[in-house]
Structure 1
Amino acid sequence: MPNIALEAIGIGVAFESASGRVDAIRQIDFALRRGEVLAIVGPSGCGKSTLFNVIAGLLKPTRGSVSVGGVQVDQATGHVGYMLQKDLLLPWRTVLENVTLGLDVRGVPRAQSSEIAMKLIRAYGLSGFEHAKPRTLSGGMRQRAAIMRTLAFDPEVILLDEPFSALDFQTRLLLQSDVRQIIIEQSKSAILVTHDIGEAVAMADRVLVLSQRPSVVVSIHEIHLPRVTRNAVEIRKDPVYNDHFTEVWADLHLGANA
């Protein structure tokens, strides 16, 4: 389907343990639309990280499949980019060199990779810091560099695995707005895995709620908030934000007790 960036069909995951077979995911189906941010929330231990690893192609599901642009994930090398809880910037490389890291690994000529990186650095608030080492940057600046590194090799889908959880609350709010805006401006599709309902509602176009383990999809909420001009601080004053928060919380509670 032309409007679908990523599709998960009948995903099930089971692990073998000393005490026998353990089901982590019973069945999960969803589609990520092109150009949208889809947030995934669920009770602690419900299998969000397991699902993330399946989507990323790091773990083969017991059942089902994931495709990106119609291509199976295990065949779609380079189609998915990652932004993780830790920025994982290499301390001996400058901001510019960290942003070009993925391009360097792919053998892109240095002049070309530097040009791509500098466009991102100028566009998203790190101009003047391109030759700085990560230790001199704030947490928010480091995460900006991390998202630029992800964007530099132009993946079709970006996976955000609780990318702001290690930051202070003020920086988290600022980056929620910034990263969402960057994703929209770069015409990317993204999946955000988070335990924070407020973050999910503030950043996402839809929120998918999972049940406790073995997880299934409890519900998917369409978020009816401004598509482009969505400030993570101001949006929390909107009654619609509070309505969505309450609805997602209710389904999360339902899923936790399923």
Structure 2
Amino acid sequence: MNAPAPTLARETNAAPVVLRAENIGVTFHGNGKPVEAIRKVDFELHQGETLAIVGPSGCGKSTLFNAIAGLLRPTSGHVDVGGVRVGDAAGHVGYMLQKDLLLPWRTVLDNVMLGLEIRKVPKPRAREIALELIKTYGLAGFEHTKPAALSGGMRQRVAIMRTLAFDPEVVLLDEPFSALDFQTRLLMQADVSRIIAERGKSAILVTHDIGEAIAMANRVLVLSARPATVRALHVVNLPREGRDPAALRTDPLFQEYFAKIWADLEKPAGVA
């Protein structure tokens, strides 16, 4: 029986929409000519799914990430999280960046508790939440260890626990594994996907790695070169349960997705 062909249309999804980006445009005004980074980008994120965003180098992926996270006000359009404009949705979005940004003078436990402390969660409750995450996700025994004594993968695991500790509706992942070696990156892709699924979270992954996008996401949004517009949307028809990022790379359907997304990225500017 032949495998189903990769889907390029918008997926029919009965799950509620937890994040909606409408008509997002970003133009930077400096001393010279205005630079349009993003033009009329629209997409939705459904409850429990992971949406990956890929695009050519320099296309504006990080700018779009900052707009989604509420770190940058778009020139046009808006982002809603749970029906609330993202700028007013404090605590609804958590993000994990390229660097783990763990505080070196704090222990694993204290780093996981950081977001809870900022949100004024009582210390006994914050400690309880952090210890449960540390135990559940394989760092029991390292509670009082400083980041310098951890491997890169362990540090990233602490970072995702810190992000999940305050229970955000949406998790944003900005190239979170780019600093890791290839083997550790594959392990962390599986690890973080599993953790997000177990917590019932919705996530947006911004990445330059096509394989990573296919391995982790339900859908892959492809951006054009700058100014970034939506070039294609691929629905990833691969089993979600127990996805093995290493084994997937030998799956013919994985290779079909890779080839089609690569072709989208290689299209010249102005070609649909």
TM bin (shorter chain)? over 0.9
Q: State the alpha-carbon separation in 2 of the partners of residues 256 and 3 from structure 1.
A: 34
Aligned to 1:67: 80
Give the equivalent residue in structure 1 for 2:226.
213
- Residue deviations 1:1-55 (CA, integer Å, cap 9, x gap): 9710100000011111222211111110000011001000000110001100000
Give the aligned partner of residue 128 of structure 2.
115
Where 2:257 maps in the other structure, the secondary structure is helix
Q: Does 1:23 align with 2:26?
A: no
For 2:39 and 2:117, the matched residues in 1 are separated by 39
Indicate whether 1:176 and 2:161 are aligned: no
Whole-Å separation in 2 of the counterparts to 1:243 and 1:2: 27
> What one-letter code is carried by the residue in structure 1 that aligns with 2:257?
H
Q: CA deviation at 1:234?
A: 1.2
Distance 1:2 1:25, change over 3 A: same
Residue 239 of structure 1 pairs with residue 255 of structure 2: no
Cα pair 1:212 1:257 within 8 Å, conserved: no
Please state if 1:222 is matched with 2:235: yes
Match of 2:214 among 165, 186, 201: 201
TM-score normalised by L of structure 2: 0.93
What is the SS of the residue equivalent to 1:82? strand
Distance 1:230 1:50 in 2: 30
Tell me which residue corresponds to 1:40.
53
**Would you say how many aligned residue pairs link Structure 1 and Structure 2?**
258
Deviations 1:151-197 (A, max 9, x none): 00000000000000000000000000000010000000000000000
RMSD: 1.2
Secondary structure of the equivalent of 1:177?
helix
Pick aligned residue for 2:109 from 90, 93, 96: 96
Q: C-alpha distance in 2, partners of 1:21/1:143?
A: 37
Structure 1 runs of 4+ aligned residues shifted over 3 Å read 255-258
- What does 1:143-162 correspond to in 2, within 5 Å? 143-162=156-175
**CA offset digits 1:186-239 (Å, max 9, x no partner):** 000000000000111111110000000011000100001111210111111211
**Structure-2 separation of matches of 1:116 and 1:206:** 31
CA distance, structure 2, for counterparts of residue 139 and residue 179 of structure 1: 14
What is the identity percentage for the equivalent residue pairs of Structure 1 and Structure 2? Answer: 65
Establish whether residue 163 from structure 1 lines up as the match of residue 176 from structure 2. yes
**How far 1:255 sits from its partner (Å)?**
5.8
**TM superposition shift of 1:257:** 6.7
Counterpart code for 2:16? N
Match of 2:64 among 25, 47, 51: 51
1:7 to 20, 26, 50: 20
TM-score (norm 1): 0.98
Q: Is the 8 Å Cα contact of residues 184 and 228 (structure 1) preserved in structure 2?
A: no
> Could you list the runs of 5+ residues in structure 2 that have no partner in the other structure?
1-13
